[in-house]
Amino acid sequence: MRSLRLAATVLLLTSTVFALEIAELRNGFTIPHRTREARDGQMRLYLDDQKASFVDIPTAEIESYSSQPDPPVAEVPKSIKTTGQIVSEASQKHGVDSDFIQSVIQHESAGNANAVSRTGARGLMQLMPGTALQLGVKDSFSPEQNVHGGTQYLKDLLERYNGDAVKALAAYNAGPAAVDRYKGVPPYSETRQYVRRIVHDYNKSKAAPSKEKIRAKNASPDRATVESASR
């Protein structure tokens, strides 16, 4: 009996190496458990990590122990797409200008996918939990889900206000109810500054020459060059 208890004690000390153990009883049954503890001729087998559930088995009834690691937890692959790629895809899918989406992202979160506002808005386009739920966004910190959800919301607001981007932005910031109540941008300084800044940045992005236009210009000789070369 002493040697059996000694063996049990040694196994107890080494049991933490394995995530899951199996107690094999003399009657052929097995009991999976997390840890165990010898207690006056019995072995207490704890069935969970918190030791809230256990079973006491006479030590003499336990034939042997075997160890088994927990199955590896499958990791969810993170998105490897850039914000620009996601915005481009959302623009094509929902029919909203990509520069418009990018301007909203910049002023909502400064491009921080993990941003959380003091009111609880989350992610790149700062979706409130209730809005995210309505849009079918399960994880607001997922850049793809957040941008597609936010873009869908922008599209809905643009359609609601017949393409009026100013009203759509005001509703995105202050809510459609406030825009409907005041029949336009509500008299909130935060909302008015929000709309003004995004419209300014959006117009600026549209006025700036795109990379494609710059490449095309550099690749095509101008008229003066053509004339001098023909002389």
Helix (H, G, I), strand (E, B) or coil at 32: strand
Task: Decide: helix, strand or coil at residue 57.
Answer: strand
Catalytic residues: 108
- The H-or-E segment that residue 33 falls in is strand 30-33
Residue 182, Cβ neighbours under 10 Å: how many? 14
Are 59 and 5 within 8 A, CB to CB? yes
- Strands (E) across the chain are located at 20-25, 30-33, 35-39, 42-46, 54-58, 62-68
Longest dimension (CA), the chain: 112
Give, as one character, the DSSP assignment of residue 16. Answer: G
Looking only at the bridges linking them, the beta strands covering 54-58 and 20-25 are unpaired
